[in-house]
Structure 1
Amino acid sequence: MTGEMLVGDLTRPVPADAAFAAPTPEDCATERALKRERVLAVLDRSGRDAVLLTSTTALTWYLGGSRVHISLAGDPVAAVLVTGDGDHLVTFTNEFERLRSEELPPGLTLHQVPWHQQLHEVGRWFGPGVAPAAEAELARDLRDARRSLLPVELSRYRALNREVAAILTDVLMTVSPESTERQVTATLAERVTNIGAEPLVLLCNGSSRSTFRHPLPTAAPLGAGAMVVVCARRHGMVANATRWVRFGAATASALDAERRIALVEEDIFTATVPGARLNGIIDQLRESYERHGFGPDQWLMHHQGGPAGYAGRDPRATPVTDDEVVANQSFTWNPSAPGVKIEDTVLLGDAGIEVLSVDQRWPVERVGNLDRPTTLQL
C-alpha cells in the first residue's frame, strides 16, 4: 500500500451517466428466458414439477427488477408459480392493474385474489392438482441460480453503483461538524429516491457515536468526523457502500488503522476467486485480522459481508456457509474494527475484482492493484 493519495476535483458536478442505456425488449426477453431456464433446471434436479417464488429477492431477480412491494418492511404483494408449462403471477385485486401496467414483464399468466385472501394458497387461484415446492425448500439451488449476473443485469448494477457513489461524494463534501446525523441521512434519502432507487439502509455516526458499527442516525452532530453507509435498491439490485469524512488532521493511529483495515480487505479480495467457498474465505479473513494487528476475535464483532446482488448479502458469509464463488458474481465485503470500516460493491470478473461503487472525485489510495477509498478530509 503506497502513501500517495489521489484526490479528484470535489467541486465539479457529476455528469449524467451516458454509459447506461435502458435494456431493449430483446435484452429483457433473453434475460427472462435464461432465468426461466435456470429455474427449470433447479426443478429438474430436485425432482419437482413447480416452485412458488415468494421472497422479494427471488421475485425481483426472476422478474427483471419489477417492484413487487408496497412497504419496504412488508412481504411482497405478488408470488410467481414457475411450472414446466409457464409462469403464473398472482397478486391482490387492488394491486393488479398497477403491476400489470407499470411493473411486470410480458410472458406471465396473471391471476388475482381479494386482498383478504392468501397469495400462497395456490389451489385457490391456480386450481387443484399442483403441489409446488416452497421457495425455502430450494433456497440453496435458487441462490446458486442468481449468482452469475447476466450482461443486462451488470449494466443496471454498474449504473446504480456509480450513482450511489456519486451521491455519497456530493452529500459528504457539503457537511460540517455541526451537521447532524439525521440531516446527512435525510439528504442521502432524498438523493437516492431521486434516482429511482429505494434507500434500504442509511447509517451515520458522528464522532460521539463512533464505536457503533450499525449506527442508526440520531440528532447528534458529526463533530470531528463521521461514517456513512448507504444500501440502495433499484431494479431489484442492491448497491452497498461506506464512506468516512474527517474535519481536521488525522492522528497517526487513525491513519495506521485505516491502512491496516484496507490490507484486510485486500486479503479478502485475493481469496475471492472462482471455486472458493465462502466459509474458506471467512477462515482466511480471520487470519488476516490477526496478521494485520486487529487480534484474533475482531471478525466476531460484526458480520463480514458476502455475495451481493438482489439482497444486501445473498447470503451473508459465515463459518458454515459453503456456497461456491463463481465468475460474474457480485460481492460486498465489509471488514471493520474500532473506528474503521471499508465497504464497496464489487464484481468478480474475468480480470479479477472490479470495484463498482466508484466516484472519481473521492480520495483514494492504491492497495494492491485497486484504488480504495480513504477518509475525505474537510
Structure 2
Amino acid sequence: MSPAPVPPHGADRPEKRRRLRELLDRAGHERVLLTTGPTLAWYLDGARVDVGAGAAPVLAVVADGRGDVVHCAVNEVDRLLAEELPDDVDVRPVPWAVPPALAAARDLPREDDLALELRAARAGLLPGERVRYADLGRACAEVLTRALHEAEPAQSERALAGRVGGLLLAEGIDPLVVLVAGQDRVLLRHPVPGPGPLGRRAMVVVCGRRHGLVANLTRWVAFDDPDPATAEATRAVLEVEADALAACRPSRTLAEVLEDVARAYPRHGFDAQEWTRHHQGGPTGYAGRDPRATPDAVDTVVPGQAFAWNPTAPGVKVEDTLVLAPGADPQVLTCDPAWPTVTVRGLARPAELRR
C-alpha cells in the first residue's frame, strides 16, 4: 500500500474560511467557538485534533473566517505546530488541567448553536478532501481484502478484528470501529467481536479515520457456497442501497431520503418494518455519519457530498463510502479492484468473497 498522504495544509483553507464567514454573517455572529472533533478536523484541514479514538479534542478554535485563534493544551503545542496545524492560526497554550474550550472567551456562540449550518458547510467535499478521502477509502478496502484472504474458519472473531485493526494502524488509519460476526452471530446488527470462530461465513465492518475523514465499509467472506435464500437476500439488499443512492438528490432532506429507503424494503421483498431494526446510514465525512439519517433529520443533500448507506436485513448487509455528484455516477471510495464485485444498475458493488 502507498504511504498515508500528508495533509496539504492551505489547499482548501480559503474556501473553508469563506464558508464559515458566510455562515456567521447569515447568523449575525462575528465569531464562533469550535469544539467538536469533526468540525475542528474539517476547519483545520485534516489536523489530528485528539490523541485517541473517542477522546476529547486537545484544542478549541475561536474562528471568524479571517484570523483564527487556537487554544491548545500546553503539552500538545509542539506536536501540533510541527505536524498538524496550518500556518495561518494563532496558537495560545492552555494549562493541561484546563479544558481548552474554557480558556476561550465565554461570551461566544457555541457550535451547538450552529450545528446544522456547520454540517452543511463541511458537506460538499473540496478538491484536497476528495484526494485524501479516495486514498483513505482505497487503503481501508485493501486492508479488508488482505485480512479476509488470510482468514480461516477456525480463526476467532477477536483475532480477525485484531488483524484488521493492526493493518489499519500500519497505514496511519485510526480504527474507530471494527466489528466481526462469525456464522453464529451474523444476525446481530452491531457484532462487537467475540471469542467464537468465524465458521463458514463472516462479516467485517470498519470505520477508519485518517486526516479527520472517516471511511465506512462492510465485507463478507464465505468458506462454502451460500444457501439460495442468503444469495437472494444479498441481491435484494443491494437493490435497496441502489434506491437509497438514487434518492440522494440535492436539496432533499435526509428525512425525505429515508422515507424512500423505507419504501424500498418491501419493494424488494423484505418486511416493511425492516428499516426500523437498524439505522440506515446517511452522510459521512468528518464523522462516521454526519449526521445519521432519521425521520426528523432536516439536513439537506449537498452536491459533492459523501454518503455511507448501510441497508441490512437478517444475515445480509451492504456498506461503502461513496461521493455523489449531480449528473455523474457515484464514486465508490472504499474500492479495491482485487475484491469480487457484482453490477447493480451499472455500479460495481461488493460481492461475497468465496474462499
TM range (shorter): over 0.9
Percentage of identical aligned residues: 43
Are the counterparts in 1 of residues 262 and 275 from structure 2 also a CA contact under 8 Å? yes
- Are 1:208 and 2:184 an aligned pair? yes
Q: Decide which moves more: 95-104 or 51-60.
A: 95-104
Aligned to 1:274: 250
Aligned to 1:89: 70
Q: How far does the alpha carbon of each residue in 1:206-246 deviate from its partner, in whole angstroms, 9 at most, with x for none?
A: 01111111001011100111000011000100000000011
Distance 1:16 1:193 in 2: 14
Task: After TM superposition, list the pairs within 5 Å mapping 1:80-119 onto structure 2.
Answer: 80-83=61-64, 86-119=67-100
Task: After TM superposition, list the pairs within 5 Å mapping 1:46-195 onto structure 2.
Answer: 46-83=27-64, 86-122=67-103, 131-195=107-171
Q: Using the TM superposition, give the Cα deviation of residue 42 of structure 1 relative to its aligned residue in structure 2, in angstroms.
A: 1.1
Task: After TM superposition, list the pairs within 5 Å mapping 1:339-354 onto structure 2.
Answer: 339-350=315-326, 351-354=328-331
Q: How far does the alpha carbon of each residue in 1:257-278 deviate from its partner, in whole angstroms, 9 at most, with x for none?
A: 1011111111111111222221
Are the counterparts in 2 of residues 43 and 50 from structure 1 also a CA contact under 8 Å? yes
- Are 1:254 and 2:230 an aligned pair? yes
SS at 1:238 equivalent: strand
* Structure 1 segments unaligned to the other structure (5+ residues): 1-14
Distance 2:107 2:271 in 1: 51
TM-score by length of 2: 0.96
Are the counterparts in 1 of residues 218 and 319 from structure 2 also a CA contact under 8 Å? yes
**Residues 89 and 173 of structure 1: CA distance in aligned 2, closer, same or farther (over 3 Å):** same
SS at 1:137 equivalent: helix
Are the counterparts in 2 of residues 330 and 346 from structure 1 also a CA contact under 8 Å? yes
- Select which of 342, 347, 353 maps to 1:365: 342
Q: How many residues align?
A: 354
Q: Using the TM superposition, give the Cα deviation of residue 21 of structure 1 relative to its aligned residue in structure 2, in angstroms.
A: 6.4
Are the counterparts in 1 of residues 7 and 211 from structure 2 also a CA contact under 8 Å? no
Aligned to 1:9: none
SS at 1:81 equivalent: strand
* Structure 2 segments unaligned to the other structure (5+ residues): none
Distance 2:266 2:64 in 1: 50
Q: Using the TM superposition, give the Cα deviation of residue 352 of structure 1 relative to its aligned residue in structure 2, in angstroms.
A: 3.2
Q: How far does the alpha carbon of each residue in 1:64-122 deviate from its partner, in whole angstroms, 9 at most, with x for none?
A: 11111123222101000013651000111111112112211111111112112232224
TM-score by length of 1: 0.91
Distance 2:66 2:218 in 1: 44
The one-letter code matched in structure 1 to 2:85 is L
Are the counterparts in 2 of residues 49 and 84 from structure 1 also a CA contact under 8 Å? no
Q: Using the TM superposition, give the Cα deviation of residue 372 of structure 1 relative to its aligned residue in structure 2, in angstroms.
A: 0.8
**Residues 247 and 239 of structure 1: CA distance in aligned 2, closer, same or farther (over 3 Å):** same
Distance 2:5 2:66 in 1: 33
The one-letter code matched in structure 1 to 2:221 is V
Aligned to 1:6: none
SS at 2:221 equivalent: strand
Are the counterparts in 1 of residues 59 and 101 from structure 2 also a CA contact under 8 Å? no
Q: How far does the alpha carbon of each residue in 1:329-371 deviate from its partner, in whole angstroms, 9 at most, with x for none?
A: 0000000000000000000024131211111111111110101
The one-letter code matched in structure 2 to 1:51 is V
Instruction: Extract structure 1 runs of 4+ deviating beyond 3 A.
Output: 20-24
The one-letter code matched in structure 1 to 2:26 is R
Distance 1:301 1:279 in 2: 17
Distance 2:255 2:44 in 1: 30
| Greater C-alpha Rg | 1
Q: Decide which moves more: 221-230 or 94-103.
A: 94-103
Q: How far does the alpha carbon of each residue in 1:160-216 deviate from its partner, in whole angstroms, 9 at most, with x for none?
A: 101111111111011111011011111111110111110000000001111111001
Are the counterparts in 2 of residues 50 and 131 from structure 1 also a CA contact under 8 Å? no
Distance 1:111 1:316 in 2: 34
Distance 2:332 2:101 in 1: 39
Q: Using the TM superposition, give the Cα deviation of residue 23 of structure 1 relative to its aligned residue in structure 2, in angstroms.
A: 6.1
Q: How far does the alpha carbon of each residue in 1:275-330 deviate from its partner, in whole angstroms, 9 at most, with x for none?
A: 22211111111111011111111001100000000000000001111211121100
Distance 2:29 2:302 in 1: 25
SS at 1:88 equivalent: strand
Distance 2:247 2:335 in 1: 22
Distance 2:99 2:354 in 1: 53
Are the counterparts in 2 of residues 273 and 352 from structure 1 also a CA contact under 8 Å? no
**Residues 109 and 222 of structure 1: CA distance in aligned 2, closer, same or farther (over 3 Å):** same
Q: Return the structure number with greater relative CO, CA threshold 8 A, min gap 6.
A: 1
Are the counterparts in 1 of residues 71 and 91 from structure 2 also a CA contact under 8 Å? yes
